[in-house]
A and B are shown apart, each in its own frame.
Chain A
Amino acid sequence: MTTTVNTKIKVSEKSPEKKAFSFGKLATNLILLFIATVLLIPALWMTIAPSKDRAELVSLSPLEFGSIGSYLTRWRNLMQYDNEVLIRWIENSFWYTISIVLLSTLMSLLGGFALAATNIKFKRQILMLVMIAMIIPGIALVMPMFIWVNKLGLTDTELGLILASSFYPFGVFLSYIHFSTVIPKELYEAAKIDGCGYFKIFRKVALPVSKSLVGIIAFFSFVGAWNNFFLPQVFILSGEKHPLSSGLTLLFTNTPAFSGNSSAILPIERSEIALSALVITLPIILLFLFSQRFLSRGMLAGSVKS
Chain B
Amino acid sequence: MFSKKRDSSVAVWVMLAPYLVFLVMFAVVPIWMALKESVGPTMRNEAGGFKNYLLVLTDYRFLTSLKNTVLYVLVSAPIMTTVVLVLSLLLDSFRAKWHQYVRLAYLIPGCYVGAAGVLAWYMALEPIIGPFRRVLNFFGIEKSTQVFQPSSLVFIFAMMSVVSNAGAWIVVQFGGLQEISEEVIEAAKIDGCGNFQLATKIKLPLIKKNVVYMVVLVITASVQLFAEPFIVNQQIGFSGNWSLMQLSYSIAFVEGDIASASAISFMLLAVSLSAALIFIFKSNFFEGEGVEK
The reply to whether B121 and A42 form a contact with Cβ atoms under 8 Å apart is: yes
The reply to whether A167 and B22 form a contact with Cβ atoms under 8 Å apart is: yes
User: Per a CB cutoff under 8 Å, which of B12, B111, B217, B266 touches A198?
Assistant: B12
Are A151 and B22 CB-contacts (below 8 A) given A29-B94, A41-B132, A63-B131?
no
User: Per a CB cutoff under 8 Å, which of A144, A163, A164, A246 touches B31?
Assistant: A144
Roughly how many angstroms separate A63 CA and B90 CA in the complex, as a whole number?
30
Q: Which residues 211-244 in B have Cβ within 8 Å of A in the complex?
A: 216-217, 220-221, 223-224, 226-227, 230-231, 234-236
The reply to whether A273 and B220 form a contact with Cβ atoms under 8 Å apart is: no
The reply to whether B114 and A245 form a contact with Cβ atoms under 8 Å apart is: yes
B254 at the interface (CB under 8 A from A): no
A276 contact set on B, CB distance < 8 A: 116
The reply to whether B20 and A135 form a contact with Cβ atoms under 8 Å apart is: no
Roughly how many angstroms separate A133 CA and B26 CA in the complex, as a whole number?
10
User: Per a CB cutoff under 8 Å, which of A126, A128, A163, A166 touches B286?
Assistant: A128
The reply to whether B220 and A39 form a contact with Cβ atoms under 8 Å apart is: no
User: Per a CB cutoff under 8 Å, which of A126, A137, A280, A288 touches B116?
Assistant: A280
Chain A, residues 191-206, CB within 8 Å of chain B (1/0): the string is 0100101110010000
Roughly how many angstroms separate A46 CA and B220 CA in the complex, as a whole number?
30
Are A163 and B25 CB-contacts (below 8 A) given A42-B109, A132-B273, A292-B104?
yes
The reply to whether A197 and B11 form a contact with Cβ atoms under 8 Å apart is: yes
User: Per a CB cutoff under 8 Å, which of A128, A146, A198, A258 touches B235?
Assistant: A258
- Would you give the shortest CB distance from B64 to chain A, in whole angstroms? 20
B129 at the interface (CB under 8 A from A): yes
B contact patch SS? helix
Are A113 and B15 CB-contacts (below 8 A) given A118-B9, A273-B119?
yes
Chain A residue nearest to B264 in the complex (CB): A143
> Which of under 10, 10 to 19, 20 to 34, or 35 or more describes the interface residues of A?
35 or more
User: Per a CB cutoff under 8 Å, which of A114, A129, A139, A198 touches B245?
Assistant: A139
Roughly how many angstroms separate A68 CA and B106 CA in the complex, as a whole number?
28
- Would you give the shortest CB distance from A168 to chain B, in whole angstroms? 8
A285 contact set on B, CB distance < 8 A: 108, 111
Roughly how many angstroms separate A110 CA and B40 CA in the complex, as a whole number?
39
Q: Which residues 1-19 in B have Cβ within 8 Å of A in the complex?
A: 4, 7-9, 11-13, 15-16, 18-19
A42 contact set on B, CB distance < 8 A: 109, 112, 120-121, 123-124, 131
Q: Which residues 289-306 in A have Cβ within 8 Å of B in the complex?
A: 289, 292, 296, 299, 303
Chain B, residues 91-131, CB within 8 Å of chain A (1/0): the string is 10110100111101111110111111001111110001111
- Would you give the shortest CB distance from B217 to chain A, in whole angstroms? 6
A75 at the interface (CB under 8 A from B): no
A251 contact set on B, CB distance < 8 A: 115
B258 contact set on A, CB distance < 8 A: 147
The reply to whether B129 and A57 form a contact with Cβ atoms under 8 Å apart is: yes
Q: Which residues 68-90 in A have Cβ within 8 Å of B in the complex?
A: none
A246 contact set on B, CB distance < 8 A: 114
B101 contact set on A, CB distance < 8 A: 36
Are A28 and B23 CB-contacts (below 8 A) given A135-B276, A230-B226?
no
User: Per a CB cutoff under 8 Å, which of A28, A133, A180 touches B290?
Assistant: A180
Are A136 and B220 CB-contacts (below 8 A) given A42-B120, A167-B22?
yes
A229 contact set on B, CB distance < 8 A: 113-115, 227
B289 at the interface (CB under 8 A from A): yes
A169 contact set on B, CB distance < 8 A: 23
Q: Which residues 271-290 in B have Cβ within 8 Å of A in the complex?
A: 272-273, 275-277, 279-280, 285-286, 289-290
A190 at the interface (CB under 8 A from B): no
Are A141 and B31 CB-contacts (below 8 A) given A32-B102, A42-B120?
yes
B30 at the interface (CB under 8 A from A): yes
B261 at the interface (CB under 8 A from A): yes
A43 contact set on B, CB distance < 8 A: 108-109, 111-112, 120
The reply to whether B106 and A110 form a contact with Cβ atoms under 8 Å apart is: no
User: Per a CB cutoff under 8 Å, which of A44, A107, A130, A136 touches B18?
Assistant: A107
A131 at the interface (CB under 8 A from B): yes
B113 contact set on A, CB distance < 8 A: 227, 229, 245
B59 at the interface (CB under 8 A from A): no
- Would you give the shortest CB distance from B25 to chain A, in whole angstroms? 7
A195 contact set on B, CB distance < 8 A: 4
Q: Which residues 74-98 in B have Cβ within 8 Å of A in the complex?
A: 87, 90-91, 93-94, 96
User: Per a CB cutoff under 8 Å, which of B15, B235, B253 touches A257?
Assistant: B235
The reply to whether A137 and B220 form a contact with Cβ atoms under 8 Å apart is: yes
- Sample 14 A-B pairs with CB under 8 A, ordered by A number: A32-B90, A41-B124, A45-B124, A115-B16, A118-B12, A135-B279, A141-B26, A144-B34, A147-B37, A180-B293, A229-B114, A281-B116, A288-B104, A288-B107
Known: A139-B226, A148-B25, A180-B293. 16 other contacts (CB 8 A): A32-B99, A39-B105, A39-B106, A39-B108, A39-B163, A110-B18, A141-B26, A143-B252, A144-B31, A167-B27, A180-B290, A198-B12, A258-B119, A270-B129, A288-B104, A288-B111
Residues on A lying within 8 angstroms of B by beta carbon are: 21, 24-25, 28-29, 31-33, 35-36, 39-46, 49, 57-58, 62-63, 106-108, 110-111, 113-115, 117-118, 120, 124, 126-133, 135-137, 139-141, 143-148, 151, 163-164, 166-167, 169, 172, 176-177, 180-181, 192, 195, 197-199, 202, 227, 229-230, 234, 245-246, 248-249, 251-253, 257-260, 270, 273-274, 276-277, 280-281, 284-285, 288-289, 292, 296, 299, 303
